[in-house]
Amino acid sequence: MEVYHASETKEGPHTGDLGARIFPGFPPSLTSAWEKGKRARMEKRTSFRRLLRHTFRLPVGLVLRMMPLMGQVNFSYTGQLAAAAGVAEVVLDFSDDAVPLRRVLDELASRHGSKWGELIFDDAGQVRSTLLVIFDGAQVSGDKEDLTLDGVKSVMLMTPIAGG
């Protein structure tokens, strides 16, 4: 009598009536039900492993962008602002969507230090008129003191660039 391991059959992995070969006295209906259950469990386990493998191989930033949280805003800095802050990107969570930009800039200035604050605010303590503010890929015009983050998911802050 030949005995096969569950994953090794003459027809290939998980094929044929393996139950009848291992347990010759079983009726065919029971062995086929046993085979179907085993195949279903293997497929379920394999698909879950495949899902885990592909989920955990993604970069962290990409996972965050795929699963946006309520009230989460991504702030990115370029040039001098990134150098002064020591980071190019910060993600903040807000309980309210209509947060004033000025309040957020004050909070970020206290986090990143006086050098960063000097690049954002002028001597009078107002947001610099030369600061470029970009909400969700579109540049914002007007008074920067009155802007709110209502429905905004990404904010880019840029200082003016000169050259020639």
Say whether both 102 and 127 belong to one domain: yes
Say whether both 53 and 73 belong to one domain: no
Say whether both 154 and 86 belong to one domain: yes
Residue 157: which pLDDT band, with cuts at 50, 70 and 90?
very high
Supply the CATH number for residue 73's domain.
Answer: 3.10.20.30
Phi, psi torsion values for 72, nearest 5 degrees = -95, 125
Say whether both 94 and 137 belong to one domain: yes
Phi, psi torsion values for 134, nearest 5 degrees = -125, 120
Q: Is the pLDDT of residue 45 over 80?
A: no
Closest C-alpha among 97, 81, 98 to residue 89: 81
Residue 160: which pLDDT band, with cuts at 50, 70 and 90?
confident
Whole-number mean pLDDT of the chain? 74
Residue 157's CB is within 10 A of a number of other CB atoms, namely 22
Closest C-alpha among 104, 158, 112 to residue 131: 158
Q: What is the mean pLDDT of residues 131-147?
A: 91
How high is the pLDDT of residue 133? 94
Instruction: Give the C-alpha distances (Å, rounded to integers) separating 132 from 8, 107, 138, 158.
Output: 65, 18, 10, 5
The percent of residues in the chain predicted with pLDDT above 90, rounded, is 35
Q: Which amino acid is at 137?
A: G
Q: What is the mean pLDDT of residues 14-27?
A: 56
Q: Is the pLDDT of residue 36 over 60?
A: yes
Q: What is the mean pLDDT of residues 56-74?
A: 54
Domain tally, the chain: 2
Q: What is the mean pLDDT of residues 135-141?
A: 91
Euclidean distance between CA atoms 140 and 13, whole angstroms? 61
Give the β-pairing of 72-77 and 154-158. parallel
Select the more confidently predicted residue: 142 or 25: 142
Q: Is the pLDDT of residue 111 over 60?
A: yes
To which H or E segment does residue 41 belong? helix 28-56
